Structure 1
Amino acid sequence: MMKSYSKIEDLLFDHSFKSWVLDGEPAENLKWINWVNENETNGQLYAQARVILLSINDQGKVMKDAQQYSLFKKIEHTIEADSSKGFFTKEKKQTIWNQFWIRTAAILMVVLLASITFLAINHKDSEEKIEVAAAVIVKANPKGQKSKLYLPDGSIVYLNSESEITYQDNFGKDNRELQLKGEAFFEVKHDTALPFTVKSGDMVTVAVGTSFNVKAYQEFSTSVQLATGKVRVYNENREKEDLYLVPGEEVKLDKDVLSKGVFNPQEAYGWKNGVLSFNQMKFSEVKRLLERWYAVEITVQNSPKKDEKVSGEFKDASLENVLESLGYTMGFSYKIDRKKIALKFNANE
């Protein structure tokens, strides 16, 4: 069971959290991913603790162990002494958000002063230019997991299995740009001053306030399906050859060329409502879809020479039900051993 984390320092001095952040936040560590996505307060704590840890880590690359230890002790002392020294406002009307950032500012001030002092001592004869880069935030789902995320600008993201979005911590203030790997459905908060931009491979989708689905899995052509509003889509390598979509239209990027068409909403983004749907999809692609959806590994025996196309639609269905239906249609038996699935086609198929 996860501990209760209510302050930045709870995270800063938690060895598991520090290791997760400094190791690049591996997606397989579901404990921390689920905790961050649990509620908005956790997300705020994470964002600010992450900025501090990465700043400290950057200094650690040039500081000796003793100096790093001293820096951490100064931070710890700053946190413990905040009330007596009056660094933080204690007004009852102050929001949790402001309290978080006041703590963050005070801690980062210690890091900055320590950094400047260290550079001054060790580089007296050279000028040093310090640039503060925006922290990168990553939200990711492993196979078998879907999630609903709230972005800082008020937009909502439904993130599919084996998918990831990446954006900077100033998202919603200076920009609304993010990168997507996998698949997501976006409900964009209206803001004409800051267009909402999704980059998925070479495809770029720009919206002001609308809802749309983007699929960017490796086995499929990158595509965008528009549910409401209007979006502009272009190939990053050919920006002038852009396309505008109205609801019910989709665009695909295949071999560096954009093409427009129409789509079935249930097939395109029914997944966010628990609907597994495919129409005349190659079996090899259906196999990959099932592996992603149910977090399993599927092996096939006596596979037909022809990659047969198959259709199906299942609402909140178990893997057994899906395999039973497909097996009857395509002529295979199956065996389930925990997360390993073995399909065996009939010899005459």
Structure 2
Amino acid sequence: MEEHKHIKDYIVDYLLEDEDEKRLDPVLAEWLAEDESHRKEFDLYKKIWKESHRYTEPEIFDPDLAWEEVNKINRQKVYLRKSWKNILYAASGVAASLLVVLALSFMGAFQKGSEVLVSMSADYGNRSEIMLPDGSLVKLNVGSEVVYSYDPKKKTREVDFQGEGFFDVSKSKEPFVIKVAGGLNVKVWGTSFNLQAYADDPVIQASLVEGCIELEKGNEMLRMKPGEIAVFDKETNKIKQIEGVLSHSYGWLDNKLYMEDMSLSVVCKYLERWYDVEITLQPGLGEKIRYNGVIQEETVTDVMDALSRLSNISYHVKGKHISITSK
């Protein structure tokens, strides 16, 4: 049914109704009856709502005043309904325990006079997204974590980040600074960009779609223009621009991996993160084999089948472990 596309609107409306007026909309009732998984998802949303109220005192909750503290420059007004829609939409598809943490963190942002703190993570094998209190949207790739804080006294927006994410940062005169492993700071203005900053990768890569960002580490600084790609080498502490196809750097948004003379060992690192598996390579094989092209497969075995057709390798799967050898 067409209404299924907007089912979260019906869920939010139900949760926001007074207890003595709660009733199931016919569309919501039909959706719940379609599949047991729908009932479980609905129960999960109700759990978030119930748990968060245990930690929030309604009499001190002033959404209009809170939003003014978070974003005085934008002068955005927010209502209780909009706040809970942000929470519930961000919650879809995430583990129950993490959902409760997200809800409680978000509600903590509206305590009068307190610092805003919101966090979200995506485990290996999963992706997620989060709407920050300032209106910025962050799409998280697998194995990523973002912690957002706003200090009303210093009037600064700061993000501790690791992993990979696509940021769409709202414009504001208040600074937006991302801190990543290796001591690199990314200063952001109203901007869209991809940031790859896994802790165990030797480099951090930023790909700017629009707006302006500045990479800074000690005396090293680079201000980027739209369409540019830059990397920070953790070993040398150097920042430099590199050549490349901009859209390929965030192909993960479409579940695509673009390989440009990419070694098998690097390909396997992506697969381990994307599919939450462990891959063992025959010694010496990882750097010997290289690939060009793009892969977009549904399962890790589909990917391995494609790689084995492109190169002289064979693989064996046992549970979440994959071993790769030459044919």
| Bin for the TM-score computed over the shorter chain | 0.5 to 0.7
Secondary structure in structure 1 of the residue aligned to 2:177: strand
Question: Which residue is equivalent to 2:97?
Answer: 32
1:189 pairs, out of 170, 192, 198, with 170
2:309 pairs, out of 328, 332, 336, with 328
Residues paired across the two proteins, number = 243
Mean CA deviation greater in 276-285 or 288-297: 276-285
Distance 1:345 1:230 in 2: 46
1:230 pairs, out of 196, 207, 212, with 212
Seen in structure 2, the aligned counterparts of structure 1 residues 9 and 232 have a Cα distance that, compared at 3 Å, is closer
**Cα shift readout 1:276-310 (whole Å, capped 9, x = no counterpart):** 22211222111111000111111224653844322
Seen in structure 2, the aligned counterparts of structure 1 residues 229 and 262 have a Cα distance that, compared at 3 Å, is farther
Distance 2:309 2:51 in 1: 55
Seen in structure 2, the aligned counterparts of structure 1 residues 6 and 335 have a Cα distance that, compared at 3 Å, is same
The residue identity in structure 2 corresponding to 1:196 is F
Bigger-Rg structure (1/2):
1
Secondary structure in structure 1 of the residue aligned to 2:304: helix
Q: What's the CA shift for 1:345?
A: 1.5
Q: What's the CA shift for 1:316?
A: 4.7
Q: What's the CA shift for 1:321?
A: 2.1
Question: Which residue is equivalent to 1:294?
Answer: 275
Q: Percent identity?
A: 28
Question: Which residue is equivalent to 1:110?
Answer: none
Question: Which residue is equivalent to 1:200?
Answer: 180
TM-score w.r.t. the length of structure 2 is 0.66
Q: Is the 8 A contact 1:248 1:263 kept in 2?
A: no
Question: Which residue is equivalent to 1:251?
Answer: 230
Q: Is the 8 A contact 1:230 1:244 kept in 2?
A: yes
Mapping for residues 73-88 of structure 1, pairs under 5 Å: none
Question: Which residue is equivalent to 1:121?
Answer: none
Seen in structure 2, the aligned counterparts of structure 1 residues 178 and 188 have a Cα distance that, compared at 3 Å, is same
Secondary structure in structure 1 of the residue aligned to 2:240: strand
Question: Which residue is equivalent to 1:314?
Answer: 295
Secondary structure in structure 2 of the residue aligned to 1:153: coil
Mean CA deviation greater in 286-295 or 136-145: 136-145
The residue identity in structure 1 corresponding to 2:309 is Y
Seen in structure 2, the aligned counterparts of structure 1 residues 9 and 287 have a Cα distance that, compared at 3 Å, is closer
Q: Is the 8 A contact 1:189 1:209 kept in 2?
A: yes
Q: What's the CA shift for 1:167?
A: 2.1
Q: Does 1:283 align with 2:264?
A: yes
Seen in structure 2, the aligned counterparts of structure 1 residues 315 and 305 have a Cα distance that, compared at 3 Å, is closer
Q: Is the 8 A contact 2:263 2:287 kept in 1?
A: no
Distance 1:172 1:182 in 2: 29
Seen in structure 2, the aligned counterparts of structure 1 residues 273 and 286 have a Cα distance that, compared at 3 Å, is same
Seen in structure 2, the aligned counterparts of structure 1 residues 158 and 206 have a Cα distance that, compared at 3 Å, is same
Give me the CA root mean square deviation: 3.0
1:165 pairs, out of 122, 138, 146, with 146
Q: What's the CA shift for 1:172?
A: 12
Seen in structure 2, the aligned counterparts of structure 1 residues 262 and 305 have a Cα distance that, compared at 3 Å, is closer
The residue identity in structure 2 corresponding to 1:184 is G
Q: What's the CA shift for 1:267?
A: 2.2
Seen in structure 2, the aligned counterparts of structure 1 residues 179 and 332 have a Cα distance that, compared at 3 Å, is same
Which consecutive residues of structure 2, in runs of 5 or more, have no partner in the other structure?
Answer: 1-39, 57-93
2:194 pairs, out of 202, 209, 213, with 213
Q: Is the 8 A contact 2:48 2:103 kept in 1?
A: no
Distance 1:172 1:212 in 2: 28
